[in-house]
Amino acid sequence: MSAATGKKAVLQLDGKEIELPIYSGTLGPDVIDVKDVLAAGHFTFDPGFMATAACESKITFIDGNKGVLLHRGYPIDQLATKADYLETCYLLLNGELPTAEQKVEFDAKVRNHTMVHDQVSRFFNGFRRDAHPMAIMVGVVGALSAFYHNNLDIEDVNHREITAIRLIAKVPTLAAWSYKYTVGQPFVYPRNDLSYAENFLYMMFATPADRDYKVNPILAKAMDRIFTLHADHEQNASTSTVRLAGSTGANPYACIAAGISALWGPAHGGANEAVLKMLDEIGTVENVAGFMEKVKTKEVKLMGFGHRVYKNFDPRAKVMKETCDEVLGALGINDPQLALAMELERIALSDEYFIKRNLYPNVDFYSGIILKAIGIPTEMFTVIFALARTVGWISHWLEMHSGPYKIGRPRQLYTGEVQRDIQGR
Ligand code: CMC
C-alpha cells in the first residue's frame, strides 16, 4: 500500500478549503487523492488521463524525463540482454527473476499449454482470407473465453495463475495461425522441444513440405529480445483497457481480447506497421526533406516518434536500435529502409519542431526493420506486439484481482442538452 506522506494539498472551493491527502510511492511523483472532491459536489477533469494515476501497481515503473523503464525494479536494457523473454514473464508475474529450478518448471508449464482446443482452429474459417491478422486475433483470443468460462473461478488464485500460463502459451500459436490462415497455408502445430521464440518462428514459417525446417538462431534471439522489449509498459491504453474490462469481473480471455483491440490503433501498437508503410511511401532518402515539411505542417505524423510518457528518449528504442544493427549485420542485410529511417531520425533530432516538442524515436521506430529482416510480414507487426504484451496485460489483471478493487467508472463533464420535454407527439 502507498505511504501517506502527511502532506496535504489544499483546494479552495466555493469559499471552503478541502484538504486532499498526498501519497508517496517508492519512485515517481507523489499523488494527490482527489476522492473528497466528490463529496464537495465536483468531479476532476483530465481527458486523456494526462495527470491521473488510475491505480496502485508494483509491476513497472517509467520515468519519462530520464528515459527509465523498470520491470519489478530491473532496467529494461539489463532484462533485454541478461534474461530471456520467459524469465521476464516470470518476473512480471511473480515479482522476482526465477532461480534455475524455477525457470525449468515455469518453461515446462508454458510448454504444456501451447496447444489450443481443436475446435478453436475452426474459428479461423469464419474469416475472409484477406482479414487483417489483428482482427483475427481479437476474435480468436476472445473465443478462448468460451473454452474457459464455466469452470473458471477468478476468485481462485490457482485458476488465475493457470489462466496467465495458458494465455502466454497459446497466444503464439494463435498469432502464427492468424498469419498462416491469411496466406492459405496449413496450420503448423507447436513444437515443445523448441524455445518460446523458436517455436513461434517455427509455427510461422515451417510448412508440411519442408519437414527439416530449422529456425535461424540469430533470428530466434532477435525475436526473443523483441518480445522482452514489448512485455509491459505500465498503464498504457491497452493495459488500462484490460484493467477496466477486468474490473467488472469479466472473463480474463475476453479482457485480453479487449486489450488487443486497444493496442491495434496506430497511436499505440499499430505504429510499428505504420512506420514501415510510411518508409514505403517516402521511398528514397531524397524524399525525406519534403516528407518532413508535411510533418511540420501537421499533414502527417512521423510514425514511431513521440510518446505520451517519454519526453527524453525511449529506452526500448535504444536497445531495439542496437538489436537492429546486430541482426542486419549478422544476416548481411543492407536494408535501404534502415538508411531512410536513419535519415529521418537525423533530421528529426536536429529539427526545432521535434526538439521543442520532445519528440524522440520510440520502440516502434526500429522494431519494424528487424521484424522485416526476420521475414515477418508488415501486417503481423502489431500481432507480435500483442503476443509479447499479453504477459503485461495478464500481470496487471492478476495484480488487480489479488487485492481489493473497484469497478472502473469514470465520470464526465456533460455539455449536451439540458433536460427538455418531447414536443408535438
Ligand atoms: N509526428 C509529428 N508531430 C507529433 C508527433 C509525431 N509522431 N507526435 C506528437 N506530435 C506533436 C503533436 O502534433 C503536438 O504538437 P502541438 O503541440 O503543436 O499541438 C505535440 O507533438 C504533442 O503531441 P500530443 O499528440 O499532444 O502527444 P500525446 O502524448 O497525446 O501523443 C503519441 C503521444 C504517441 C500518441 C504521439 O506522439 C503519436 O501519435 N506518435 C506517432 C505514433 C506512434 O509512434 N505511436 C507509438 C507509441 S510507442 C508504442 C506504444 O507504447 O504504444
Q: Whose CA is nearest to atom 17 of ligand 1?
A: 357
Q: What are the structural domain ranges in the chain?
A: 3-53, 77-408
DSSP labels, 343-391: HHHHHHHH-HHHHHTT--B-HHHHHHHHHHHHT--GGGHHHHHHHHHHH
Binding site membership of 389 for ligand 1 (Cβ less than 6 Å): no
Q: How far is the CA of 284 from the centre of ligand 1 (A)?
A: 24
Topology (CATH) of 3-53? Rubrerythrin, domain 2 (2.20.28)
* Catalytic annotation present for 63: no
Q: Whose CA is nearest to atom 41 of ligand 1?
A: 303
pLDDT per residue as tens digits for the range 77-105: 999 999 999 999 999 999 999 999 999 99
pLDDT for the residue numbered 329:
87
pLDDT at position 156 over 70:
yes
Cα gap 145→161, rounded to integer Å: 15
Sheet holding 68-71, edge to edge: 60-63, 68-71, 74-75
What three-state secondary structure class fits 176? helix
Binding site membership of 238 for ligand 1 (Cβ less than 6 Å): no
pLDDT per residue as tens digits for the range 271-308: 998 999 999 999 998 999 999 999 999 999 999 999 99
Binding site membership of 305 for ligand 1 (Cβ less than 6 Å): yes
pLDDT band for position 225 (cuts 50, 70, 90): very high
pLDDT for the residue numbered 54:
95
pLDDT band for position 333 (cuts 50, 70, 90): confident
User: How far lies 133's CA from each of 173, 204, 226, 227, 383, in Å?
Assistant: 13, 13, 19, 18, 7
Name beta bridge partners: 69.
62
pLDDT for the residue numbered 226:
96
Compute the average pLDDT of residues 221-227.
96
Lowest mean pLDDT segment, chosen from 125-129, 333-337, 384-388: 333-337
Cα gap 287→300, rounded to integer Å: 14
With cell 517509467, the residue in question is 62
pLDDT per residue as tens digits for the range 261-277: 999 999 999 999 899 99
User: Ligand 1, from 305, 312, 314, 351: best to mutate by most atoms within 8 Å of Cβ?
Assistant: 305
* Catalytic annotation present for 210: no
Cα gap 403→380, rounded to integer Å: 36
Binding site membership of 359 for ligand 1 (Cβ less than 6 Å): yes
Binding site membership of 398 for ligand 1 (Cβ less than 6 Å): no
Name beta bridge partners: 62.
69
Q: Whose CA is nearest to atom 48 of ligand 1?
A: 362
User: CATH 3.20.10.10: does it fit domain 77-408?
Assistant: no
pLDDT at position 1 over 70:
no
Q: Whose CA is nearest to atom 12 of ligand 1?
A: 357
pLDDT band for position 234 (cuts 50, 70, 90): very high
What atom in ligand 1 is closest to the CA of residue 275? 44
Domain 3-53 and domain 77-408, same fold? Reply is no
Cβ partners under 8 Å of residue 183, min gap 6:
none
pLDDT per residue as tens digits for the range 33-77: 999 999 999 999 999 999 999 999 999 999 999 999 999 999 999
pLDDT for the residue numbered 251:
97
With cell 513461434, the residue in question is 200
Which listed residue (71, 268, 307, 396) is catalytic? 307
pLDDT at position 215 over 70:
yes
pLDDT for the residue numbered 4:
76
